Each structure stands twice: as structure tokens, then as C-alpha cells.
Structure 1
Amino acid sequence: MPEPLTADSILDTAEEVLRRYGPAKTTVVDVARALAVSHGSVYRHFPSKAALRDAVTQRWLDRVSAPLADVVAGDGPAAERLRSWVGLLAATKQGIAREDPELFATFRQVTSEAGEVVDAHVAHLAAQLARIVEAGRDDGEFAVADPAVAGLAVLQATALFHHPAHADEWGSAGLGDQLDAVLDLVLDGLRVR
């Protein structure tokens, strides 16, 4: 007896089909065929090709950002946690791009088409940074009036190191040193004088 069709099994298969055919050529029918079900069965879980792509994108972004929650919830000075958080985000995305460039290219294209999902992801990341900044403010480490504004600013200031639009630049020599320099500057701006 075949396993029941679930949203997770569809997403697993959709990721493999996207990897094999690329986003431009992948259809719901391709995913259904790989699952050996009718495309109507896939549509019962995801009402459109866009919904399926958004779900795949959300799943991938969640995998990228989940380990960051541990840094946010961790102990220690906020400056160290902020540096660790940005470093982990950059290392994760750059690692995926380096280790599985085909999959990264696929998700890079898919995420560029999933505006609402990506906007929510960016807001989530900025909120995580805001929590670190707020903790630093509460501990007297940072002098920040609005942690939410500061969190988004940190995310934007470090975009070169983690935003997929900059992936072509991630192989440049000294990138880690550049990230350290940017974080030194950002942290200097956040610290109490």
C-alpha cells in the first residue's frame, strides 16, 4: 500500500523536481508524475503552482533561518550574539551556494518570484536582530532608541554577505575580513558612548 500523500512529501518531491528541471520548466504535472499521482492530488494540498513554489520557498528559508533562533535565545553579550548571528546567516547561505550551486541557483530564482514569502522572511530576520539589539540596550551595552529600526539596518548593512543577489561576489578573497570590518563598524555605532 502506497504512503499517503502529504504536504511534506509533495514538498520533498517538488524540491527534487525543481533541482532536476529548474524553476522555469517545472510544472505541477512534473511533481505529480514524480509522485505517481494525478496533478489533482497535488492541487488538493496546494491550490496553484505559485502556492507550491511559495511553500517550497518558505520551507527553504525556514531551514536557513531556524538555527539563527538559537543565537537570538542564547546567552552572552549582545555584540557577540549579533556578530555570531550575522556570521551564521552568511556562512549558511554561502555554504549552500558553494556546496550545492545547482540547488542554490534554483532557490535564488524561486525566491525572486516569491515576494510575499521573502518579505515575511526578511521581516522575521530583522525581528530576530531587533531582539538581540533590544537585549543589548536593556543590558546597557547598546544605545539604541528603536531596536526594530536598528535590526533592519544591521540586516541591510550586511546584505553583501548573505543576500542571494550578491552570491556572485561570495568567492572574492578577503570576504570574511570585509564582514568583520562591517560588523566592527556596525557594533561601534550601536555601543553606548
Structure 2
Amino acid sequence: MAPTETLTAERILATTEDVLRRHGAAKATVVDVARALGVSHAAVYRHFRTKAALREAVTERWLDRTTAALRRVVDDRSLPADERLRRWLTTLFAAKREKAGADPELFATYEVLLGENSGVVERHVADLVGHLRLILEEGVSRGELALPVADAGLAARAVFDATGRFHDPGYAREWSAPGIDEAFTAVVELTLAALRP
């Protein structure tokens, strides 16, 4: 990119993703990002006050891509609630597995942020649990689902936790293991069985 281009937060984030992919989370620096952009590191710091803020913004941008795909499933009210839930869980597992396999350096950054108890990760999880809550509430209101607990938020979190093996980065090494797809299907079907009226 030519240094005469306007330096925007979006341009910095896209370049930071590239730098993270090349150098990894542990070695990538703001100076590396600035060098790739053809600007001083001070110019980058005008948009992102710290390296941690930049890393969080990159992670948020990366996670938002998954959230957007999941939101489309939530919004597809042409499907019955159980099928929306199945599709949502399948989409989440596929997205996390793809990120772990195809984008390991950014996935490693996400794992670092998990260890730091980042607000970005907390917001991402809250968004995902919120999606589940919407599907469950609409399923109950349409008579398609019945919750085993009175609180839809608690039920949504229980579904999220029950399927954690298929989206929690701590299990990423298992996502390419033999039998993982069958294990995923079994957990999803058991979850759906518990939610049927």
C-alpha cells in the first residue's frame, strides 16, 4: 500500500491481521505494522493507544465475521426453531474449526486474549449466548420448543456450555480428530431432544 493513502483504523486492522499471520502474536509488533503501512509507529498509536488495544480491535474484527454469519441464521425465521438451533450450532462449529485450521496465527491471538480475560471475548460470548436466547424464546413462543428451566437466558447459557467442546478454543486440537463430527451430532441431537415440547 502506498504511504500516501489515508491511514484509517480499518486499514491498520487489515494490515495488522497480515502482520500477525506472518509473525505470530508473540513476535508481531506495532513497529512491524507501521513498517508494512509505510508510516511511523506513532501514526498507528494515534488510532490505537496501545499494542493491547490494537490486538483487541483485530480480534474483535475477526470474531465479528463469525457473529455476522450466525446472526443470519438467527434472523432466518422461515426455519423452525429446532432447525435454526441445529444450523446455528453447526455454523459456529464450522467457523471455529475453519479459523483454527486456516488462520492459526489470529486464532492464537484469540487464545491469548482469552487468557487475559479480554472484554472483546466477553462481548463475543455474550453475543453468542444472546443469539441462542432469541432462538429459544422464539421457539417457545411458537410452541416449537420447551425449556427445561424457566429462564431463557439460563437455558441459552446451558446450551452454549453443553456444546463448548465444539467452539471453545481450548478444544481446538480435537476439532480435526476422527469421530469429532459424530460426537458433535450426538451432542446437538441430545440438546435438541431436551428442548422439544
TM-score bracket, shorter-length normalisation: over 0.9
Given the superposition, is the C-alpha separation of residues 38 and 50 from structure 1 closer, same or farther in structure 2, using an over 3 Å criterion? Answer: same
Partner amino acid for 1:172?
A: A
Q: Which of 124, 128, 136 is the matching residue for 1:125?
A: 128
Counterpart residue number, 1:43 = 45
Deviation string 1:21-57 (CA, Å, 9 cap, x unpaired) is 1111222112111111111111111111111011001
Q: TM-score, normalised by structure 2?
A: 0.91
Deviation at 1:107, TM superposition (A): 3.8
Over the residues paired in the alignment, what is the CA RMSD in angstroms? Answer: 1.6
Report the secondary structure of 2:182's partner residue: helix
Q: For residues 87-145 of structure 1, what are the alpha-carbon distances to aligned partners after superposition, in whole Å with 9 as ceiling and x for unaligned?
A: 00101111222334344334433454362110110000000010000011001122222
Consecutive unaligned residues in structure 1, runs of 5 or more: none
Q: Distance in 2 between matches of 1:110 and 1:131?
A: 27
Give structure 2 stretches of 5+ with no counterpart.
none
1:164 matched to which residue of 2?
A: 169
| Residue in structure 2 matched with residue 9 of structure 1 by the alignment | 11
Query: CA 1:70 to 1:175, structure 2 compared with 1: closer, same or farther past 3 Å?
Result: same
1:191 aligned partner: 196
- Number of corresponding residues: 192
> What letter corresponds to residue 8 of structure 1 in structure 2?
E
Which amino acid in 2 is paired with 1:7? A
Q: Deviations over 1:168-190 (max 9, x none)?
A: 11111121111111111111111
Alignment of 1:7-156 (within 5 A): 7-74=9-76, 75-113=78-116, 115-144=118-147, 145-156=150-161
| The 10-residue stretch of structure 1 (151-160 or 139-148) with the greater mean CA deviation from structure 2 | 139-148
2:81, 2:138 within 8 Å by CA — same for their partners in 1?
A: yes
CA spacing shift, 1:68–1:152, aligned 2, 3 Å: same
Structure 1 residues 105 and 54: alpha-carbon distance in aligned structure 2, compared to 1, 3 A threshold: closer
Contact 2:25–2:105 at 8 Å: present in 1 too? no
Q: Percent identity?
A: 53
For the residues of structure 2 that align with 1:4 and 1:180, how far apart are their CA atoms? Answer: 48
